[in-house]
């Protein structure tokens, strides 16, 4: 099977869905012909589909996300790109109070098939205003779906599902995953939401990674294997809906769990997953649930401090060894 990058897989999904359905169009800052996206995901699409379907927007996230919500309600299928995940805060009202609630408040008479793509995460030395990971904010927004792809295969399949669906979706990406290569089939495919993926099977401990942390978990699992510890690595792929069963079954098998997420520990993604494990597999736990997360601080600009901020393989390995005797 051919190998492509996450960046190219996302672009392929956008291109194929735009060809498949002329109601699909793109909106965002600098995504058009001149700049072609801050991370070059939309490169070439404006030349192919024109300015009507690849729309550069003003620097006003609340405004263009609101425009996308309105167009979705009238039958279009907008895919919005917000340049950096932190800037999504400027559009939270439109996402949470409008997109996520309209289907419910209209008694099911209106749908909002809008997809909002944005990259989160640290590691590129662009400071606190451009490096945070706010996934747990949107897990709490009833009516909104949340995808967290970590591989090219998952990115393409999940994005196609998001675009074809009738619900608002936050499609969370990570800056350091864009260049990651992996197998992607030529034929059309989708990945259903709410189905986690076992990236590596194991029997001694379950490691649940989110976004880029899946890759770090796999690297840590390889090192742990050389030390006689067989870790299972699970990628939720979507946080809303969340696959409780596959996580629960894994922890029932291994008896131990380590959750790795780049957001802050307090009230973060890891806290919710830990609660789910307690509800699904408490009687099977042989050790406390461990969480490897970023600290409760803004992301530092200094490369040395930023590297210390980001969860890494050493921290994952230590957490595993703390609970595996």
Phi, psi (5° rounding) for residue 170? -95, 115
Question: Domain spans of the chain?
Answer: 3-183, 197-323
For residue 32, what are the contacts with CB-CB under 8 A and spacing of at least 6? 42, 46, 51, 54, 55, 56
Query: Which DSSP letter does residue 49 get?
Result: H
**For residues 297 and 265, what is the distance between their CA atoms, to the nearest angstrom?**
10
pLDDT for 303: 95
pLDDT for 1: 87
**For residues 143 and 23, what is the distance between their CA atoms, to the nearest angstrom?**
22
Residue 325 banded pLDDT, cuts 50, 70, 90: confident
Residue 40 banded pLDDT, cuts 50, 70, 90: very high
Angle between helices 6-20 and 152-164 (to 10 degrees): 30
CB crowding 119-138: b at 16 or more within 10 Å, else e: bbbbbeeeeeebbbbbbbbb
Please state the CATH superfamily assignment of the domain spanning residues 3-183 in this structure. Answer: Thiamin diphosphate (ThDP)-binding fold, Pyr/PP domains (3.40.50.970)
Between CA 229 and CA 236, with CA 234 as vertex, the angle to 5 degrees is 160
pLDDT for 3: 98
* C-alpha pair distances (Å), 258 with each of 313, 316, 324: 12, 8, 11
Pick the CATH number of 197-323 from 3.40.50.1000, 3.60.15.10, 3.10.20.600, 3.40.50.920: 3.40.50.920
pLDDT for 88: 97
202 vs 325, more confident: 202
pLDDT for 267: 96
Give the ranges where 101-181 is alpha helix by DSSP (H): 102-105, 135-139, 152-164
Q: pLDDT of 169-228, one tens digit each?
A: 999 999 999 999 999 999 999 999 999 999 999 999 999 999 999 999 999 999 999 999
Query: Catalytic: 130?
Result: yes
- Tokens 């029932």 belong to 252
From the candidates 17, 29, 103, 130, give the one annotated as an active-site residue. Answer: 130
**For residues 114 and 100, what is the distance between their CA atoms, to the nearest angstrom?**
10
Listing from the earlier edge strand, what are the strands of the sheet with 205-209?
A: 197-200, 231-235, 205-209, 257-264, 290-294
Query: Catalytic: 61?
Result: yes
Terminal Cα distance for the chain, rounded? 40
Mean pLDDT, the chain, as a whole number? Answer: 97
pLDDT for 188: 97
Count how many Cα atoms sit within 13 Å of the Cα of residue 277 in the half-sphere of its side chain. 28
From the candidates 12, 61, 81, 272, give the one annotated as an active-site residue. Answer: 61
pLDDT higher than 90, residue 71: yes
Identical fold at 3-183 and 197-323?
A: yes
Phi, psi (5° rounding) for residue 242? -110, 135
């Amino acid at each position: 099977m051919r190998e492509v990058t996450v960046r190219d897989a996302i672009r392929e999904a956008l291109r194929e869905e735009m060809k498949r359905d002329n109601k699909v169009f793109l909106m965002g800052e600098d995504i058009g012909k001149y700049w072609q996206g801050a991370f070059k995901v939309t490169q070439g699409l404006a030349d192919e589909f024109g300015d009507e379907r690849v729309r550069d927007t003003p620097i006003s996230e609340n405004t263009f996300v609101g425009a996308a919500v309105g167009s979705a309600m009238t039958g279009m299928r907008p895919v919005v790109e917000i340049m950096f995940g932190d800037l999504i805060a400027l559009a939270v009202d439109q996402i949470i109070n409008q997109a996520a609630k309209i289907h419910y408040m209209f008694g099911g008479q209106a749908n909002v098939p809008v997809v909002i793509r944005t990259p989160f995460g640290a590691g590129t030395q662009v400071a606190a205003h451009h490096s945070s990971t706010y996934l747990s904010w949107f897990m709490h927004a009833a009516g909104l779906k949340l995808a967290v792809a970590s591989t090219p295969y998952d990115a393409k399949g999940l994005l196609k599902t998001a675009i074809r669906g009738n619900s608002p979706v936050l499609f969370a990406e990570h800056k350091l995953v864009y260049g990651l290569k992996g197998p992607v089939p030529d034929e059309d495919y989708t990945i259903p939401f709410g189905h986690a993926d076992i990236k590596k099977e194991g029997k001694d401990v379950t490691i649940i990674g989110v976004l880029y942390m899946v890759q770090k978990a796999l690297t840590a699992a390889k090192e742990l294997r050389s030390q006689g510890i067989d870790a299972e690595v699970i990628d939720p792929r979507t946080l809303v809906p969340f696959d409780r069963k596959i996580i629960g079954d894994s922890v029932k098998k291994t008896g131990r769990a380590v959750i790795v997420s780049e957001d802050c520990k307090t009230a973060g993604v890891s806290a919710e997953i830990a609660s789910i494990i307690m509800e699904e597999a408490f009687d099977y736990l042989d050790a406390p649930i461990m969480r490897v997360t970023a600290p409760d601080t803004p992301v530092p600009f200094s490369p040395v401090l930023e590297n210390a901020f980001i969860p890494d393989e050493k921290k994952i390995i230590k957490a595993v060894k703390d609970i595996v005797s």
